[in-house]
Amino acid sequence: MIPQSILCLINRHKPDRNKARWDGFHYVGACTACGREVYRLKSKTWRAIGSG
Ligand SMILES: [Zn+2]
């Protein structure tokens, strides 16, 4: 199992689903490991905002 901190480095984030909110286009939330704002690209795939 890969630590979440390593996954963050390759832009695979893990937000607190309970705190995720809908912004009109995506679910967005703060990553539990790195604290960055992330959005849900698709199911189980969250990407940092502004990273492409
Ligand atoms: Zn992260």
Q: Is the pLDDT confidence value at 50 over 90?
A: no
What whole-number distance in Å separates Cα of residue 14 and Cα of residue 8? 8
Strands 45-48 and 21-22: unpaired
Q: How many CB atoms lie within 10 A of CB 12?
A: 18
What pLDDT is stored for residue 17 in this prediction? 86
- Across the strands, what pairs with 27? 22
* Cα 1 to middle of ligand 1, angstroms: 16
- Whether 30 contacts 16, CB under 8 Å: yes
Tokens read off for 48: 């940092």
* Cα 26 to middle of ligand 1, angstroms: 17
* Number of domains composing the chain: 1
**Could you read off the pLDDT of 5-46 as tens digits, one per residue?**
999 999 999 999 899 999 999 999 999 999 999 999 999 999
* Cα 15 to middle of ligand 1, angstroms: 7
Structural domain containing residue 38: 4-48
